[in-house]
Amino acid sequence: MDSSLPKYFGAKVKENRIRMGLTQIHLAQITGLTRVSIINMESGRHSPTLNGLMILCSCFGCQPNDLLPRVKKKQLQVKEKRVRIVKVKTYKTFKFI
């Protein structure tokens, strides 16, 4: 993972928290996350789970793309890979009694 993603996200969380006039403790109480999680997110040491991201977006009244950096089209390109499929023979086994 790109190390700039957690730092960018953390800066956006802090910016929104301060804009709303919340302390880290208040934000933790509102979201149900721990204060330590908020501190780690804001410092860029921790990225939230998808659920945590959605909770923060709900609290801030924003969309996930407002807290995440834009992805360049170049980063989204996927190289085509050819795969050869080989038919595998299966054999039935019988047990004689």
Q: Where are the domains of the chain?
A: 4-69
Low-confidence ranges of the chain (pLDDT < 70): 1-3, 72-81, 83, 85-97
Confidence (pLDDT) at 70 = 81
d(CA 10, CA 44): 5
Q: Are 52 and 34 in contact (CB under 8 A)?
A: no
Confidence (pLDDT) at 4 = 83
Burial, 63: exposed, middle or buried (Cβ in 10 Å; 0-12, 13-18, 19+)? exposed
Q: Is the pTM of this model over 0.85?
A: no
**Domain 4-69: assigned CATH number:** 1.10.260.40
Confidence (pLDDT) at 95 = 65
Confidence (pLDDT) at 58 = 93
